[in-house]
Structure 1
Amino acid sequence: MAGLWFDDVEIGMTFETPRRTVTEADVVNFAGVSGDFHTLHTDAQTMRESQFGERIAHGALVLSIVTGLRGRLGIFDDTLVAFAEIRRWRFVRPVLIGDTIRAANEVVELTPTSKPDRGVMVQHVQVLNQHDVVVQEGEMVALVKREAKV
């Protein structure tokens, strides 16, 4: 079985995802899938005159990309039971088309459950752009398998 088990993880453990550039195609496709065609994301002329100076990526798109980047690490490929919760997620700064993002993750809580085959792992996640500026942050909660004790 590939991946870290709940019992392998320690509070304070950190890991960083690969980077990914947010593209025009990402924004257009996400607008179509989500139905969110707000001016912030679709009207270049209006947004040139805005505080942002150009269109911005959907916050939920960036969050979705981050879940994919975290999955690319492969460290919980076979041990993740479920993605359970997002806590206190904040959209700190806009992400522009062409920005390159990554996620820095730190394990902040580990709680065994009443079921001996799993535990709850909480990670503080910071999404950073190419300038190392935090653009989103919060906590992601997952159920992770525990190794059977013989």
Structure 2
Amino acid sequence: MNTTGLYYEDVVLDEDRKSATRPVTPADIRAFCELTEDFHPLHTDAAYAQSRGFPGLIAHGLYGLALMEGLKTSLKLYENTSIASLGWDQVRFILPLLAGDVVHVVFRVTGKRLSSRAGRGVLTEDVRLVNQRGEIVIQAQHAALVLTRGPAGSD
């Protein structure tokens, strides 16, 4: 089976997929601060973060969520078949994402249905950001809109 450019019909339910790893650096956290204008001291001052019970700088939860999408996209599963992200649900920041963590994404498609618009299908994905200790840092549900092979699509 083709593992890049998957169409709706190609997607197998409940099959785990895993991304490559990526380190989270203080520079990454700083860049996200600058991009979003969120300079809370948890993200900029290690001593402050430690005073709040963390071992050091923590990344923004939304940085982790964005990284989840990027790591999932790096697999190129829907490289030419993705239409849009329909949104994220049930987002849970389970553990802090720390500077120095090395993370990857594990996800599986847990549901799929044809869209009301011909030629499109909706996938429901369970997505987890996992650190180097095998701990789930962030977990969420994602809905993605992808192309079907034909105008009507089929299950």
Bucket of the pairwise TM-score, normalised by the shorter protein: over 0.9
Structure 1 unaligned spans of 5+: none
Matched, 1:132 2:134: yes
Query: Greater CA deviation, 8-17 or 90-99?
Result: 8-17
Q: Percentage identity across aligned positions?
A: 32
Please show how residues 1-150 of structure 1 align to structure 2 within 5 Å: 3-148=5-150
Distance 2:50 2:117 in 1: 54
Q: CA deviation at 1:95?
A: 1.0
Deviations 1:4-57 (A, max 9, x none): 000111221221111100011101110001011111111222223221131111
Distance in 2 between residues matched to 1:48 and 1:125, nearest whole Å:
29
Compared CA separation, residues 118 and 47, structure 1 to 2 (3 A): same
SS of equivalent residue, structure 1 residue 29:
helix
How far residue 149 of structure 1 moved from its aligned partner, in angstroms, is: 6.2
**Could you tell me which amino acid in structure 2 is paired with residue 112 of structure 1?**
L
**Structure 1 vs Structure 2 CA RMSD:** 1.6
> In the aligned structure 2, how far is the partner of 1:63 from the partner of 1:37?
18
1:18 is paired with a residue whose SS is coil
Aligned counterparts of 1:92 and 1:130: Cα–Cα separation in 2: 15
Instruction: Give the structure-1-normalised TM-score.
Output: 0.94
Superposed structure 1 runs of 4+ greater than 4 Å apart = none
Larger mean CA deviation between 46-55 and 94-103 belongs to 46-55
Classify 1:63/1:140 alpha carbon distance in 2 versus 1 (closer, same or farther; 3 Å).
same
Unaligned runs of 5+ in 2: none
Counterpart contact for 2:26–2:57, Cα < 8 Å: no
What's the CA shift string for 1:84-131, capped at 9, x where partnerless?
110101000001101011111011110111222001001001110000
Count of aligned residue pairs for this structure pair: 150
Q: 2: distance between equivalents of 1:114 and 1:48?
A: 50
